[in-house]
Amino acid sequence: METTPENISRRNFIKLSGMTGVALTLGLHFPAIGKEAIVLKQDTAESQGFELNAWISIDETGKVTIVNHRAEMGQGSFQSVPQIIAEELEVDLNDVNIVFAQGSQTKYGSQVTGGSSTIRGSYQRLLKLSATAREMLLEAAAKKWGVPRGECFAENGQAIHKPSGRKLGYGALVEAASKQEPPAEVRLKSPNEYKIIRKPMPRQDTPPKTNGEAVFGLDMKLPGMLYAVVERNPRFLGKVKSVDDSGAKAVPGVRHVLRVQMNVFSHKREGVAVVADNLWSAMQGRKALKIVWDDSGFEHYNTEQLFARMRNDVKGEPLSFKTKGNFSRAFGKAFKKLEAIYETPYESHSCMEPLNCVAHFHDNKCEIWGPIQGPDWVQSDVAPMIGLKPEDVTVNMTFLGGGFGRKAFLDYPHEAAVISKAINAPVKVVWTREDDMTQGPFRPGMVYQCKGGLSEDGRIDAFETIMAGQNMDHQNPGADKMAYNSSATEGLLETYLESLPNYSFGDIPLDAPVPVMWWRSVYSSTNGFAFESFMDELAISAGKDPLDFRRQHLWGGRYQELLKKLEEVSGWKTRSKNGGYGVAITECFSSIVGEVVKVSKKTDGKIKIDKVWAVMDCGWYVNPDIIRAQVEGSIIMALGAATVHATHFEDGKAVEQNFNTYKMPRITDTPEIEVHIMENEEKAGGAGEPGLPPFTPALTNAIFDLTGKRIRKLPFALEDV
């Protein structure tokens, strides 16, 4: 497969994909909200004024080109999407060319790469689209040979007549196929017929990413492009009171110094941009700025103040999200009662590729290039911010060096567009690592109050969780500050809501000036720690094995099968006595993940993590190697957030500025990880995020099993346990 970092639009599709002459081009059209997509030819769609979603084209040479409407930020969509197409189309994966789509919600629907939604949101449509193309080509071959369609089959980019062995490559059939109407219904393969899907195929984007051919945002260059860095107020809500830019302008290569504003939720972040011929000059010019900030009118908080409020808040009356039965009455009558408070810190996204964006505003239009998770959002939301209509803003995706939710935000493309418009030239705005780590938005810090009541037979009769922390939705303009956090149960196994007779979930929102937003697995990353740590505490209080305790509360065969698999692969029932074992199971983005962690003591008495067993049930899936890699990466990211790093605030400013203080797990810290994938016929779930939430509670539960010490506050240092 050839990965093409160029971008696509209806008019330049043929040119950019390098296709020749006549092509069979199909796409999906959604006749109405909630209706099933239908497959249309491109010319039919254009004649009826429709925009097509998820294009696939085959030209006269047999070359297959598809459009990837989602970002590739390491999660594997540049492999998985072609793998789906190649399966039903019956072509060699190496013969598939993939190009990035430009931002267009009307054409592609949601293009936001988040919520582990790329495959689970589109796999059925992609299968149908490619199967339709295959059937049209086979029908064209049958007519050409004058034989029944049922005597023909497809293999390796060819139509084959089974009785005679005659063959025709797809390229020879394109012209005839393009004159047919797509069939309304096509048969899709069953999983036992797959030749490519569910096979551990090597990622096709690895070679260009290792040999330097892949284009990331930081690689983008335009003729006449300038470079900019921005000195932003470190206190988020502060204003520029005055600026002395004489020193900056004296730096060779500096062209412009200007004040800039860009939207960060309902606030406008202020800063001073230095624009130069090269990045070094821009950075030196920024160092020479003398800015006086107006930081009046808002609180200059520190971390301990924020958490003190949250600890106090969880004692109050929450905004009710979900209830069942009567928790208060059941808790009051419980045979055993248990209460615990858990804390999780603020976290930076810290993508390996810091934020950057290229913009060129000219002729009342703007074109944007960069590592962008939501190109359609940039097009629709940034356009009015710079005085344009969405159709006058073109958004091009590059590869992303990590995203984790941060690169779905709109501040950095908006900033680049504003600067380009002001200087009337193309510009690349680059964030330094310090900019990236200190400006946020961050994962919100959270405090949880959990209460549980057990019946005499050791079952949960009452369960309550109150979460205190910032509600991301409350930051938006015009937000209802009394609206509950709809993610208050995110990460909790859905079946618990069926098996628990009495429960209550709610939140008490913290109003603070810290900008917060999605972080890998969103609220599941913090909720999961509280839910599954408390579940373990309830199991111990009931005098039951932690895995068996969960089993008796998990209704439904899918959950039971996962528990059975987890128990089997981890050797849970025969676990050694010289180590500590912990288990946790969470559910998010339609996938269920169970993990067991084993810990032991080194000769110096310090804790070490020996091994992690993970069982992923994501239903229908594409490439097991990608799933394993995503689970492994999620576990390592969770390890860092649990034991190594956190973002702190002093005097209203983020403290950690680079990896010398916001430390990352080293390869020597990484335990052995064994990942297993459940085989079933469930609908596809997410893979990029669900592996993260269960690791931390499994780890802390294992530490309790070994030492008797219960860890309820993150991060903690393994060497201090």
> pLDDT tens digits, residue range 331-356?
999 999 999 999 999 999 999 999 99
**Mean pLDDT for the stretch of residues 210-225:** 96
CA distances from 130 to 28, 133, 312, 350 (A): 11, 5, 56, 38
- Taking a C-beta distance cutoff of 8 angstroms, is the pair 245, 261 a contact? no
pLDDT of residue 32: 54
Q: Radius of gyration over alpha carbons of the chain, in Å?
A: 27
pLDDT of residue 17: 46
DSSP, collapsed to helix, strand or coil, labels residue 228 as strand
Exposed / middle / buried, residue 536 (Cβ in 10 Å: 0-12, 13-18, 19+) = buried
Instruction: Judge if the upstream peptide bond of residue 501 is cis by omega within 30 degrees of 0.
Output: no
Q: Which two tokens stand for residue 40?
A: 């249309």
pLDDT of residue 16: 42
Q: Which two tokens stand for residue 69?
A: 């409407």
Confidence of residue 50 (pLDDT cuts 50, 70, 90): low
Map out the domains of the chain with their CATH numbers. Answer: 2-211 (3.30.365.10), 217-296+355-430 (3.30.365.10), 314-346+443-720 (3.30.365.10)
Query: Could you tell me which of 177, 2, 206, 209 has the C-alpha nearest to residue 92?
Result: 2
- Taking a C-beta distance cutoff of 8 angstroms, is the pair 634, 692 a contact? yes
> pLDDT tens digits, residue range 403-430?
999 999 999 999 999 999 999 999 999 9
pLDDT of residue 28: 73
- Assess whether pLDDT exceeds 90 at residue 292: yes
- How far apart (Å, rounded) are the C-alpha atoms in residues 201 and 194? 13
pTM of the shown model: 0.94
- Among 25-29, 103-107, 492-496, name the most confident range: 492-496
- How far apart (Å, rounded) are the C-alpha atoms in residues 363 and 524? 45
- How far apart (Å, rounded) are the C-alpha atoms in residues 393 and 380? 8
Query: Rounded to the nearest 5 degrees, what angle is found at the Cα of 408, between the Cα atoms of 407 and 412?
Result: 60
Confidence of residue 51 (pLDDT cuts 50, 70, 90): low
CA distances from 469 to 318, 406, 532, 720 (A): 12, 19, 19, 27
- Helices 123-145 and 77-89 meet at what angle, rounded to 10? 30
In percent, the amount of the chain with pLDDT more than 90 equals 83
The neighbour count for residue 185, using CB atoms within 10 Å, is 8
Confidence of residue 254 (pLDDT cuts 50, 70, 90): very high
Exposed / middle / buried, residue 707 (Cβ in 10 Å: 0-12, 13-18, 19+) = middle
- Assess whether pLDDT exceeds 70 at residue 52: no
User: Which of 49-63, 115-129, 299-313, 649-663 shows the lowest mean pLDDT across its residues?
Assistant: 49-63
CA dihedral 573, 577, 579, 585 (to 10 degrees): 20
In percent, the amount of the chain with pLDDT more than 70 equals 95
Confidence of residue 8 (pLDDT cuts 50, 70, 90): very low
CA distances from 377 to 50, 214, 218, 373, 401 (A): 21, 24, 21, 9, 20
**Mean pLDDT for the stretch of residues 548-575:** 96
Q: Which two tokens stand for residue 277?
A: 């011929």
Higher-confidence position of 503 and 13: 503
Confidence of residue 43 (pLDDT cuts 50, 70, 90): confident
- How far apart (Å, rounded) are the C-alpha atoms in residues 671 and 90? 40
- Taking a C-beta distance cutoff of 8 angstroms, is the pair 697, 691 a contact? no
**Could you give the residue ranges of the DSSP H alpha helices within 360-479?**
375-377, 383-385, 411-423, 433-439
pLDDT of residue 192: 94
Confidence of residue 21 (pLDDT cuts 50, 70, 90): low
- Assess whether pLDDT exceeds 50 at residue 4: no
- Taking a C-beta distance cutoff of 8 angstroms, is the pair 201, 79 a contact? yes
- Taking a C-beta distance cutoff of 8 angstroms, is the pair 518, 409 a contact? no
Provide the phi-psi class of 695: left if phi over 0, else alpha when psi is between -120 and 50, else beta: alpha
For the chain, the average pLDDT equals 93
pLDDT of residue 288: 98
> pLDDT tens digits, residue range 637-680?
999 999 999 999 999 999 999 999 999 999 999 999 999 999 99
DSSP, collapsed to helix, strand or coil, labels residue 171 as helix
Sheet of 365-370: strand order equals 254-264, 267-276, 226-232, 427-430, 356-362, 365-370, 393-397
- Assess whether pLDDT exceeds 50 at residue 7: no
> pLDDT tens digits, residue range 149-206?
999 999 999 999 999 999 999 999 999 999 999 998 999 999 999 999 999 998 888 9
**Mean pLDDT for the stretch of residues 2-26:** 54
- Taking a C-beta distance cutoff of 8 angstroms, is the pair 647, 347 a contact? yes
Exposed / middle / buried, residue 29 (Cβ in 10 Å: 0-12, 13-18, 19+) = middle
Distance between terminal CA atoms of the chain? 49
Sign of the dihedral defined by the CA atoms of residues 514, 520, 524, 525, in that order: negative
- Helices 170-177 and 123-145 meet at what angle, rounded to 10? 90
Q: Report the amino acid identity of residue 257.
A: V
**Mean pLDDT for the stretch of residues 604-633:** 97
- Assess whether pLDDT exceeds 80 at residue 291: yes
DSSP, collapsed to helix, strand or coil, labels residue 141 as helix
